[in-house]
Homo-oligomer: A and B are copies of this chain.
Amino acid sequence: MLFHQARARRIMAEQRIDALVATSPDNVTYATGYWAMSHWARPGGPQVYAVIPVDGGGSACVITGSGNLDLVVDGEAWVTETYRYGFFSTRTDGPDLPALERSYAALLSAPDHGDAAGALVAALRDRKLERGRLAVEETAIQPAVLERVRAELPGAQIVPGARVFREIRTLKTPEEIERLRGAVRVTERGIAAALRVAAPGVAERALLAEFDRAVLAEGGVPVSSMCIGSGPRSAYSNCQAGDRRLAAGEVIRFDGGVRFRWYRSDIARIAALGDPGDKATRYYAALRAGAERAIEAIRPGVKTAEIFRVAMDTVRREGIPHYERGHVGHGIGINNYDAPDLAPASAEVLEEGMVLCVETPYYELGWAGLQLENTVVVRAHGAEPLVSLDNGLCVV
């Protein structure tokens, strides 16, 4: 299961939360396994929610449009109790329907709650949450729906839920780690495929095409978040592969990832077309040392601010004295910026089961961008690497 039940239970108890209400695509899928295509494809559009009551507070359920009910039975959802809303016509009176079709027909024949607010209120009432403390993810529910819930359940105490979900998601379940491992693997193969066509005169765009092709072939989804920039363009932090042609002696910066079974990757590597020169070699060595020392410092109980300090001190000492960064990494999961932040002002402490992207990027306009980014699982003994690519500057 993706949802970390034990952690959710503890956080809900600590914060006296009677139910979680997920409203974003990420958190609905995380909490229930239910993936509603239109919810993912049109953020801000179709309203889909999940209600997760505290233990003993009733069953978890999904609130969704009637046209999305097929994906409750024909998918990977482990929460299959639904409240539906809206008209949707599917003929269900055929003879001898198979079991899956019978389940789907049963969902379609349940009462129509009219609209998303009506269905959500019904789900909350059925769980006797009229006076409950509800952590409602406030960032994806339509404001008008939230107003209706407040009006119809005036005794309920509604608190911001996005940060509660973020807190729960901080520690990963084994299933999540497997998906993250898969996302990394697919991304590595994409980078390797792109590098097989890298040569002077080849356009950046051709590398991205190879990356995307390999990602698809490996079961990943390219989601327009792999940055590929060559030469001076590598200094643009979000560089999108374009028509620029590679030249000998230049670096190519890869940063980003894919989606794999809804989970994300974010890794970075530098390649060079032949010798990239003394400065790039020295600077890259410093950045690499910073990222490697930071990962060596990872273990449960260490402050994230300490990981930041180790990375920064190392890079500055090893060759880039003017190095500056706002953070040296972040958690990753179904969202590609999960907690914790590896940042100087962060008060967070590493725990077993976190999955971290550790990165030391450096951008210098008119020259180049250099970066190493790896992904690790925080284990009892230290960091378990998910990336198998070599940390060195890859000369092609």
Contacts and interface: CB of A to CB of B under 8 A. Distances in A.
Interface residues of A, number: 73
Nearest to A226: B37
Among the interface residues A36, A41, A67, A337, which one has the most CB atoms of the partner chain B within 10 A? A41
Interface string A191-221: 0000000000000000001001100110001
A363 B37 CA distance: 18
Contacts of A44: 24, 26, 43, 139-140, 162
- Chain A interface mostly: loop
A236 interface: yes
B25 A43 contact: yes
A21 to B, nearest CB: 14
Given A138-B143, A236-B74, A91 B224 contact: no
B41 A363 contact: no
Given A70-B237, A89-B324, A326-B88, A212 B216 contact: yes
A101 B232 contact: yes
A381 interface: no
A86 interface: yes
Given A213-B216, A322-B91, A365-B92, A335 B42 contact: yes
Interface string A98-117: 10010011000000000000
A365 B94 contact: yes
Interface in A223-277: 223-225, 227, 232-233, 235-240
Given A365-B97, A366-B96, A88 B221 contact: no
9 contacts: A26-B44, A38-B238, A43-B43, A44-B139, A45-B335, A89-B326, A104-B236, A143-B160, A209-B217
Interface of A: 24-26, 36-38, 40-45, 67-68, 70-71, 74-75, 86-92, 94-98, 101, 104-105, 138-140, 142-144, 160, 162, 209, 212-213, 216-217, 221-225, 227, 232-233, 235-240, 322, 324-326, 335-337, 362-367
